[in-house]
Amino acid sequence: MSVRATELPKPYHQAVERWRDTYLPDYDLLIEQWDRFFPRDRPFRLCAYRECDSCAKIECGERKGEEKYVQVGEMGSDQAGHLLNAVRAQASTEFGSIQQHQLTLSRAQDEQDQFWILRMMAEELRHGYQMLHLLLDDDWSAATQRSGADMVEEILSMRTGSHLLGTFNIDFDSFVDNVVFCAMIDRVGKYQLSMQKVSAYKPMAESMPEMLREEAFHLAAGVLPMRRWAEQAAKDSVYVTMAMMQKVTNKWLPRALEMFGHEQGGATNLRYGFKPMVNAEAQQAYYREVGRVLQDLNLRFIRSRVPELSHGEAVALCRRVAQDGEVVRGIGPEHLLRQPHSEFFRRRGEPAFSMVGFAGETFDEPETYLRHVLSHLPETYAAGRDFKGYATLLHQVHSGQLEAQEAARKTPNLSRVGGVCPCSRAVRWVAGVESETVTSIGAC
């Protein structure tokens, strides 16, 4: 396997380092402690990795079997534009995730959990760097008249509230957010990266293998603490309860489902050879996988509470409690995690603002529905601006003031404080272009 490591031209590399100093101030501590927490793993390096012996033939779509595109200029303008939107969105999510995690990183109760999340943040920085490498290493004039410097500045100047995907515009409220976000949202990342691994654009496909290897660690940074918390909760630990994990899961799972795009979409990606599945197919596979993750956590709770049970007996007990509502060996439905209905608390896609309840029940009145939703969410989140914005739009949709899809385009769209990030201005300063403020970008 031939893997090539490349650094961005010096001005852009330094701009990312300045961004890192602002939003990842614990980076030096991570590097100092790397061998303590990750002694078997190679040292972290901020660079772009390309696996050069990946498949050279297009693997799906209308040009399946032909040579993959090596340069953007080999594509038509529509196809190039579609690809550019995907690269920009991917870059935005990587940098946006770091900004979210930094809010509550210091609240971790366990030092190892904290360093696992810190490593995940550093690797997300590298993933964003990888996408900037794609933007700067090719000529994108077939898709845009904007320069590489302009696109890099735009991405580095985004903050929570102005990222391209709404999931990355939501504040974290506790360290439980850090962990559950990894288990739920990074799992979407695994699906997206796996699909992009077959991209008809060879540089994108070559970028995915190393990102996927790192993404596997990000999932572990979410699932392993949740497993430990479930086992501790079974022994009446008061720190992180099953009820707490349930409510934070309810906060993020609807947003995760929306990251796949509209359920009727994805055909263009498939036709162009950028992804092998349409949106609904990938979303449904993800939703089933999350169900298996929650089942695993429930079984760990049960076997920790009643250790004499075999695996089969624990599965049977879980079924009786979760499906039939029984209380068995002191374990009732309130002790186990349940998967929210796929249309619960949705504000994008087909179910946007449709008032479907946690268990799939439907509501007629916005206020009744909002009280229902609130009962399933963390109080700290419910008191924030993101939920207030959702409630306002829900009322507008059901009073006829807005169409659901119009409302979806309006949320979340928070004001960004200040102008362009100084770390991104460094790019433009070196490039000799006068600095200007980038207009805040709403979620799309």
Mean pLDDT of 283-289: 98
Comparing 123 with 426, the larger pLDDT belongs to 123
- Give residue 377's pLDDT: 98
Domain for residue 412, yes or no? yes
- Give residue 73's pLDDT: 96
Residue in the block written with tokens 């601006």: 385
Domain for residue 369, yes or no? yes
- Give residue 130's pLDDT: 98
Domain for residue 421, yes or no? yes
- Give residue 439's pLDDT: 25
- Give residue 275's pLDDT: 97
Domain for residue 352, yes or no? yes
pLDDT higher than 60, residue 23:
yes
pLDDT higher than 80, residue 380:
yes
Which tens digit of pLDDT belongs to each residue from 414-426? Answer: 443 333 344 444 4
Which tens digit of pLDDT belongs to each residue from 150-177? Answer: 999 999 999 988 888 889 999 999 999 9
Q: How confident is the model at residue 300 (pLDDT cuts 50, 70, 90)?
A: very high
pLDDT above 90 as % of the chain? 87
Residue ranges making up the domain that contains 396 = 340-431
- H/E/C letters for each residue in the chain? CCEEEECCCHHHHHHHHHHHHHHCCCHHHHHHHHHHHCCCCCCCCCCEEEECCCCCECCCCCCCCCECECCHHHCCHHHHHHHHHHHHHHHHHHHHHHHHHHHHHHHCCCHHHHHHHHHHHHHHHHHHHHHHHHHHCCCCCCCCCCCHHHHHHHHHCCCCCCCCCHHHHCCCCCHHHHHHHHHHHHHHHHHHHHHHCCCCEHHHHHHHHHHHHHHHHHHHHHHHHHHHHHHHHHCCCCCCCHHHHHHHHHHHHHHHHHCCCCCCCCHHHHHHCCCCCCHHHHHHHHHHHHHHHHHHHHHHHHHHHCCCCCHHHHHHHHHHHHHHCCCECCECHHHCCCCCCCCECCCCCCCCCCCECCCCCECCCHHHHHHHHHCCCCHHHHCCHHHHHHHHHHHHHHCCCCCHHHHHHCCCCCCCCCCCCHHHHHHHHHHCCCCCCCCCCCCC
pLDDT higher than 80, residue 291:
yes
- Give residue 435's pLDDT: 28
Instruction: Tell me how many domains the chain contains.
Output: 1
Mean pLDDT of 76-96: 96
- Give residue 412's pLDDT: 57
pLDDT higher than 60, residue 280:
yes
- Give residue 163's pLDDT: 87
Domain for residue 259, yes or no? no
Strand partners, 93: none
pLDDT higher than 80, residue 48:
yes
Domain for residue 279, yes or no? no
pLDDT higher than 90, residue 241:
yes
Mean pLDDT of 47-51: 96
Domain for residue 211, yes or no? no
pLDDT higher than 80, residue 105:
yes
Mean pLDDT of 284-295: 98
Q: How confident is the model at residue 431 (pLDDT cuts 50, 70, 90)?
A: very low
pLDDT higher than 90, residue 442:
no
- Give residue 434's pLDDT: 30
pLDDT higher than 70, residue 437:
no
Domain for residue 364, yes or no? yes
Query: Taking all residues of the chain, what is their mean pLDDT, rounded to a whole number?
Result: 91
Which tens digit of pLDDT belongs to each residue from 402-418? Answer: 999 999 988 654 443 33
